[in-house]
Amino acid sequence: MPADPPIRFLLDGEVIEARDLAATTTVLDYLRDTLGRRGTKEGCAEGDCGACTVVLGSLDDNDTIRYRAINSCIRFVPTIDGHELITVESLQDGGALHPVQQAMVDEHASQCGFCTPGFVMSLFALYLNQATADAAQVVDSLAGNLCRCTGYRPIIAAGCRMSGYPSPARWSRDDAHSPARVAALKSLRRPSALSQSAFTAPHTVEALARILEEKPDALILAGGTDVGLWVTKQLRTLPPIVYIGAVPELQQVRVTNDAITIGAAVTLTDAWQVIVAHFPRLADLARRFASPPVCNSGTLGGNVANASPVGDSMPALIALGARVELRRGAQSRTLPLEDFYLAYQKKDLQPGEFVTAVAIPLTATPHHIGCYKVSKRFDQDIAAVCGAFVVELAGEQVRDARIAFGGMAATPARARHAEAALIGQPWTPQTIRHAATRLATDFNPLSDLRAGSDYRLSIAMNLLQRYYLDQTAPSTRLQDLAPVT
């Protein structure tokens, strides 16, 4: 039996050929155990703490390199084939520190040091992508990094200061986008799919459809931010993997007058950017969805296909009337996103069928849009309840309403009784209060470690009132919106 072709990626100007690896070998394990790069740490092994942060460089359609921080602990090595990997060791230039590192030293931004390389790499990604950064931008870039022994103030100060140093000879912004680096990445492009015994990365949708028809039990892998945990935390043995991240058609975002169509392999970072551009009121949800390293690997299509009852994108997408596009062999179909979910972790998918895109309609009708996430932690936490609301008014009367919740049922779901209580009624606090009480008919929430059933229902009711207040303030008095019980 012929040996699997090697996985090739660029590291410090050299092409690394990774051979004889299990398809589920993580980038973190390969760095530490094979390459001896132990500056990259394992903390949580689930993409939560950021100690494992590295930066990945990828060529876009314009042959420009895009650098993004990712979690190496849940990213499988075959998925970085054709990319450039940068670790904390890559920043060294003889005895000189990179400006990011020097800023950390000068601001006394490290104590025990375990998590410091991860902070450095998150800041390094920010350094390459922005000429300067303010405190808010630094905080956002570090949302996926947890420090256990120091305050964040000096780390944030280092992030604000790092662009004030002389440009380094190694890994300046010019060096990062040099023609030589672009040429090196171009040389790694494969003329055909990477095909190994347990990992296949087709280059076309047609090839993907054919493979999945032949092997309907294969595991479809996108960003791996969920699947990675099956290996690192649950120690599962996975079936053969079919990776969609090398299919250009699935990495496209198309915007027309009628809809935004987001391919299944588009990262959450890119997907949320275009969604927020059209629906600015979703900016807070996008910011709190997950950390930058998670969003830089994970995909919107994966979040939708995962069918988690607490997937944060689904309530907003359902409320906006999104449709999911599916394909099996040569056959394609679409259906409303809310109809895609049949029961807990059960979807309307036939064997060999897969998600190709999510389409969000655009309409000239003014929408009143709101979306709220309630969780124990502000950044990078799973929601206890996530509610999304879209109301269309005709004068002072509700013409249409779409309300969707995550965390309230076995699947993300619409609140159809609450919607019916709004439609055709005046847009008043009394109507809102009545509609909120109907949520008790729509949902019988579960109780778990994140929240109890009564709490979830109470939160959902009052989120509807918060939505109303956000749309009508300052004309609404708070005393008109007493808590619904």
Collapsing DSSP to helix, strand or coil, 354 comes out as strand
In this structure, of 305-314, 386-395, 463-472, the range with the lowest mean pLDDT score is 305-314
Which segments of 371-444 does DSSP mark as H helices, in order? Answer: 416-422, 429-437, 439-442
Among 329, 361, 393, which residue terminates a domain? 361
| Domain end marker among 361, 396, 420 | 361
Cis amide leading into 99 (omega within 30): no
Residue 86 and residue 31 share a domain: yes
Pair 217, 227: CB distance under 8 Å: no
Q: How many domains does the chain have?
A: 3
Q: Model-level pTM? A: 0.94
For the residues 247-273, what does the mean pLDDT come to?
97
CATH number at residue 254: 3.30.465.10
Beta carbons of 193 and 116 less than 8 angstroms apart = no
Instruction: Tokens 């990319």: give the residue.
Output: 83
State the pLDDT confidence band at 480, using cuts at 50, 70 and 90.
low
Q: How many CB atoms lie within 10 A of CB 424?
A: 13
CATH number of the CATH domain containing 75 = 3.10.20.30
In this prediction, residue 449 has a pLDDT band, given cuts at 50, 70 and 90, of confident
Helix (H) or strand (E) holding 296: helix 292-297
- Note whether 314 and 287 are same-domain residues: yes
DSSP class of residue 4? Answer: P
In a domain, 41, yes or no: yes
φ, ψ at 125 (rounded to 5°): -60, -40
Q: What is the mean pLDDT of the chain?
A: 93
Instruction: Please enumerate in sequence order all residues whose Cβ is within 8 A of that of 313, keeping only pairs 6 or more positions apart, or say none.
Output: 268, 289, 300, 303, 304
Say if 251 falls within a structural domain: yes
Q: Among 322, 341, 361, which residue terminates a domain?
A: 361
Do residues 159 and 255 share a domain?
no
CATH number at residue 465: 3.30.390.50
Taking only Cα atoms into account, the Rg of the chain, rounded to an integer number of angstroms, comes to 24
At 311 the pLDDT is 83
pLDDT at 472 over 90: no
Same domain for 398 and 308? no
432 and 340 in one domain? no
Higher-scoring residue by pLDDT: 3, 406? 406
Find out whether 55 and 123 touch, Cβ atoms under 8 Å: no
Q: Are 415 and 404 in contact (CB under 8 A)?
A: yes
- State the pLDDT at residue 269: 97
397 burial (CB, 10 Å; 0-12 / 13-18 / 19+) is middle
Flag whether 1 is in a domain. no
Q: Are residues 436 and 459 in the same domain?
A: yes
54 contact partners, CB below 8 Å, separation of at least 6: 27, 31, 40, 69, 70, 72, 85, 86, 87, 88, 121
Q: How confident is the model at residue 450 (pLDDT cuts 50, 70, 90)?
A: confident
Full domain range(s) for residue 408: 368-480
